[in-house]
Amino acid sequence: MKKQPTKKLKTMIIKAPKVKPFDLSFKDVKENTKIIVALESLKGNAGWQFLTQVLEANVKYLNNCILEKKDGEISLEEKDLDVMRDKYRFINELLEKPDMFIKKLKSPEIEPENLDPYN
Q: Report the pLDDT value the prediction gives residue 110, as an integer from 0 to 100.
A: 47
Q: What is the pLDDT of residues 71-116, one digit of tens each?
A: 988 999 999 999 999 999 999 999 999 999 999 999 876 455 566 6
Q: How far is CA 41 from the centre of its chain?
A: 12
CA distance 102 to 37: 9
How many C-beta atoms lie closer than 10 Å to residue 51's C-beta? 14
- Decide which of 117 and 8 is more confident: 8
The model's confidence at residue 19, banded by pLDDT at 50, 70 and 90, is: confident
Output phi, psi for 74, to 5 deg. Answer: -90, 125
Q: What is the pLDDT of residues 56-66, one digit of tens each?
A: 999 999 999 99
Could you tell me where the beta strands, DSSP code E, fall in 1-119?
Answer: 70-71, 74-75
- Decide which of 95 and 12 is more confident: 95
Output the average pLDDT for the chain. 88
Q: What mean pLDDT comes out for the span 24-47?
A: 93
